[in-house]
């Protein structure tokens, strides 16, 4: 299976490294500056086991447009603000038999991708804590998981490699909602209190943290996708741990002044909550803060 990974950032770079190390045929679709860096220095990857540099295949959008080639699997790993550009860039690489697997946060991207690629789109999600550090991909702990919808056994075989915990899920939409409820809760926690999870609890914030978890999960339940008990317990264990140093990716992007997924993670969830009649005061308060930060950075 020929695999095209759209993006060689934290998520795409980490999963792509695992696939390449397992002998999969992987090419990265990246921006020209990233392509030049990776061609010159290789793809540097660090995880708890150590650091290595891989020589990998990269293509730019202009290169694919000039010499189109169809891939069997296209994995979209860019963040939501880059989705529209990614759809246009990857279109020449998508054929009748191509499977398009997005592992973005939230739910709004599914409708847009299905508009562009129809039934080729396979629902999916990823759980990984990774970042970019001076061009290098850094996976911060051992957790690296991908969940995909059923009905694509060849994709499952391709992604089932050491270093990736693969799950094939019959109710992929429900699984995506469960993840959305978690990342929204962690985003509210960190962005509202401007802190990692642990200090919020040590400062006496446990009642508020439990309340914000209840808000995000209430929206999921009202939408017809109640969060399973096991997922709820994992969320509580993560966010009510007084010793936790966990920060959400939304918060890390926000404080670094980088493009972020505040609207996709928080804004869309708040809008759905209003439409469903679910009160989300802590989510709404955090969304105001995130939007105000964006306005200040833009000088508005």
pLDDT per residue over 162-175, tens digit each?
A: 999 999 999 999 99
Q: What is the DSSP string of 101-135?
A: EE--SSSHHHHHHHHHHGGGB--EEEEEEEEEETT
pLDDT above 80 (res 219): yes
pLDDT band at 141 (very low <50, low <70, confident <90, very high): confident
Structure confidence by residue, pLDDT tens digits, 82-128: 999 999 999 999 999 999 999 999 998 998 999 999 999 999 999 99
Q: Which two tokens stand for residue 190?
A: 């960190």
Superfamily of chain region 2-170 = NAD(P)-binding Rossmann-like Domain (3.40.50.720)
Note whether 2-170 and 174-299 share their fold. Answer: no
Structure confidence by residue, pLDDT tens digits, 183-200: 999 999 999 999 999 999
Q: Which two tokens stand for residue 263?
A: 């609207």
pLDDT given at position 47: 93
pLDDT band at 80 (very low <50, low <70, confident <90, very high): confident
Are 185 and 235 in contact by the 8 Å Cβ rule? The answer is yes
pLDDT band at 143 (very low <50, low <70, confident <90, very high): confident
Q: What is the CA radius of gyration of the chain?
A: 19
pLDDT above 90 (res 300): no
pLDDT above 90 (res 41): yes
CATH class of the domain defined by 174-299: mainly alpha
Query: To the nearest whole percent, how much of the chain has pLDDT over 90?
Result: 87
Q: Which two tokens stand for residue 209?
A: 């943290």
Q: What's the pTM?
A: 0.89
Q: Could you tell me which of 133, 136, 135, 141 has the C-alpha nearest to residue 47?
A: 141
pLDDT given at position 134: 86
Domain chopping of the chain, boundaries = 2-170, 174-299
Length of the chain: 300
In 3-state terms, what secondary structure has residue 164? coil
Are 261 and 294 in contact by the 8 Å Cβ rule? The answer is no
């Amino acid at each position: 299976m020929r695999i095209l990974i759209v993006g060689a950032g934290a998520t795409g770079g980490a999963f792509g490294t695992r696939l390449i190390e397992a002998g999969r045929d992987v090419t990265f679709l990246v921006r020209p500056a990233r392509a030049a860096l990776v061609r010159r220095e290789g793809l540097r990857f660090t995880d708890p086991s150590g650091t290595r540099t891989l020589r990998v295949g990269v293509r730019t959008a202009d290169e694919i447009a000039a010499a189109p080639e169809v891939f069997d699997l296209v994995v979209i790993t860019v963040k939501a603000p880059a989705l529209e550009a990614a759809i246009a860039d990857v279109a020449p690489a998508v054929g009748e038999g191509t499977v398009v697997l997005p592992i973005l946060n939230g739910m709004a991207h599914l409708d847009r991708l299905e508009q562009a690629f129809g039934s080729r789109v396979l629902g999916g999600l990823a759980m990984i804590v990774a970042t970019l550090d001076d061009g290098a991909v850094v996976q911060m702990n051992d957790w690296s998981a991908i969940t995909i919808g059923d009905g694509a056994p060849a994709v499952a075989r391709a992604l089932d490699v050491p270093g990736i915990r693969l799950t094939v899920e019959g109710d992929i939409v429900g699984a995506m909602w469960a993840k959305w409820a978690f990342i929204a809760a962690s985003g509210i926690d960190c962005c509202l209190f401007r802190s990692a999870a642990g200090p919020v609890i040590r400062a006496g914030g446990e009642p508020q943290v439990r309340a914000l978890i209840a808000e995000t999960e209430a929206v999921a339940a009202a939408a017809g996708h109640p969060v399973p008990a096991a997922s709820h317990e994992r969320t509580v264990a993560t966010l009510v741990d007084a010793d936790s140093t966990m920060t959400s990716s939304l918060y890390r992007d926000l404080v670094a002044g980088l493009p972020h997924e505040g609207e996709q993670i928080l804004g869309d969830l708040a809008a759905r909550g209003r439409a469903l009649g679910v009160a989300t005061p802590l989510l709404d308060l955090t969304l105001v803060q995130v939007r105000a930060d964006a306005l200040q950075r833009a000088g508005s």
